Amino acid sequence: MKFDKIEKLDDERFRRLTGVKRTTFDKMVQILQQADKAKKIKGGRKYKLSLEDMLWMALEYMREYRTYFHLSQSYGVSGSSAYKAVKWIEDTLIKHPEETDKIIAGYFTMHDFMSSTYQGNIIRI
């Protein structure tokens, strides 16, 4: 399911499907847009997926434990592209602890978050 279908959902269904509030999702997209803008200064290929789709793919991976193969089939990208997108999303959001604290509120205690982050574990929402 692509983001263009998800964004039309009401707030309750959006939260149930994605695991985050719409405002939180929007804030995450803002962080990713800033990071993407800084990254694009160097040049390179354009993404096949929008930032919203990549974020939704990462949330699906974290929430539903989908494999990169399944994500790649759903989004029409290769498995390695799915991996790179999810990894970039995770790395970018973890670099913003002031916002990450707000994002994870209600899911983890800060101790759980920090211990899983520093142990190199993938954070599951």
Structure confidence by residue, pLDDT tens digits, 69-120: 999 999 999 999 999 999 999 999 988 776 666 655 544 444 454 445 445 5
Q: Is residue 39 part of a domain?
A: yes
Say what the pLDDT of residue 52 is.
94
Tally of structural domains, the chain = 1
Q: Is residue 47 part of a domain?
A: yes
Say what the pLDDT of residue 50 is.
92
Q: Is residue 125 part of a domain?
A: no
Q: Is residue 123 part of a domain?
A: no
**Shortest CA distance to 82 belongs to which of 72, 91, 92?**
72
Q: Is residue 104 part of a domain?
A: yes
**Rounded distance, CA 75 to CA 88, Å?**
17
pTM value > 0.85: no
Residue 86 domain boundaries = 3-118
Q: Is residue 25 part of a domain?
A: yes
Say what the pLDDT of residue 114 is.
44
Q: Is residue 124 part of a domain?
A: no
